[in-house]
Amino acid sequence: MKKQFLVIGLGRFGASVARTLTKSGHSVIGLDNSEERIQRVAAEITDAMKCNATDAEIIESLNVRDFDAVIVAIGEKYIQNSILSTLILKEKGAKKIIAKAGTQTQGRILSKVGADIIVYPEKEMGERVAKNLVSANILDFLEIGPDVSIVEIVCPKILVGQNLVELNLRHKYGITVIAVKNSKNEIKIPPDVNYRFQPDDIVVLIGENKQLKKLGFIE
C-alpha cells in the first residue's frame, strides 16, 4: 500500500531516508533550506521544496495530517530548529513524528515536544560497526529493540549439518531463522525446515540478545 511521507532536512540521513522510501514505492516530499541539498535529491523523490520548516504557516500549508509519518532529520547542531519543527508538527496534527537526535538529552527534549520515535543514527551505526568488529562471523547486525536483534552471520558450527527440525531453535531459545543464502547465492526466505546447514551458508536470525549470546551468535 502506497504511503505518504514528509522528510524535513535533506542531509545525509534525511536524503537516505527519502530515497529509500521512494524506491520502495511511496510518495515522499522533502524539505530543506539549502538549494544545494534540494537539487541533490530532487530527481530521486516525489517532490523537494526549499523552505524554512520552522515556519508554522508553511507547515500548515502542507496539510501534515495527510502524511503517514513525518521524519524530522535536521542536523543535531541545529537542535533548536528540530525542536521547533517538531512542536509545530505536533500542533498541526501530524500522525507520527520520527525525529533524529545526536544525544540522549536531545532525544528527551524532542520526545517532550511531540516526537513519537527518536532515532540516533550515529550511535546505532557505531554499535553495528562495533558488533561486526568483535565477532569474525558477524556480517551485519541490527538492534530492533532494547533486547531484540537481527543478525547476519556465517553459519556457526552449532548449526552445520543439522536442519531446523533437529535444532528446534524457536522452541528452545525463541530464535527464528529468517533466511539462508547458500554457496550458489540462492536465498531461501524462510528456509525449508529440512534443509541441512552448510559451513559456507550465510544465515539471518532474529531473537533476544541474551539467547543470541548464549548460543555464541553475538558477543
pLDDT score, position 127: 57
- Residue whose grid cell is 541533490: 40
pLDDT above 90 covers a percentage of the chain that reads 53
- 72 or 142, higher pLDDT: 72
pLDDT at 139: 56
Is residue 1 predicted with pLDDT exceeding 80? Answer: no
Question: Cβ of 6: how many Cβ atoms within 10 Å?
Answer: 25
pLDDT in tens, 60-116: 999 999 999 999 999 877 899 999 999 999 999 999 999 999 888 999 999 999 999
Mean pLDDT of the 121-131 span: 61
Separation CA 164–CA 159 (nearest Å): 9
Query: For domain 124-214, which architecture applies?
Result: 2-Layer Sandwich (3.30)
Supply the pLDDT for residue 50. Answer: 94
Q: Give the CATH fold of the 4-119 domain.
A: Rossmann fold (3.40.50)
Contact 205, 181 (CB under 8 A): no
What are the tens digits of pLDDT across the range 8-57? 999 988 998 999 899 889 999 999 999 999 999 999 999 999 999 899 99
What is the pLDDT, as a whole number, of residue 140?
Answer: 66
From residue 70, alpha-carbon distances to 23, 48, 81, 142, 157 in Å are 17, 14, 15, 23, 44
Q: What is the largest CA-CA distance in the chain?
A: 63
Q: Residue 75: what pLDDT?
A: 82
At 74 the pLDDT is 92
Q: Compute the average pLDDT of residues 113-127.
A: 78
Which is higher by pLDDT, 112 or 137? 112
Q: What is the pTM of this model?
A: 0.63
pLDDT digits (tens, 9 = 90+) for 161-200: 999 999 999 899 999 998 898 888 888 888 899 999 999 9
Q: Give ranges for CATH 3.40.50.720 in the chain.
A: 4-119
Which residues sit opposite 70 in a β-bridge? 6, 97
What does the alpha-carbon distance between residue 197 and residue 181 come to, in Å, rounded to a whole number? 10
Q: For the chain, where do the domains classified as CATH 3.30.70.1450 start and end?
A: 124-214
Task: Specify the pairing of strand 202-208 against strand 176-181.
Answer: antiparallel
What is the predicted pLDDT for the residue at 133? 46
- The pLDDT of residue 187 is 87
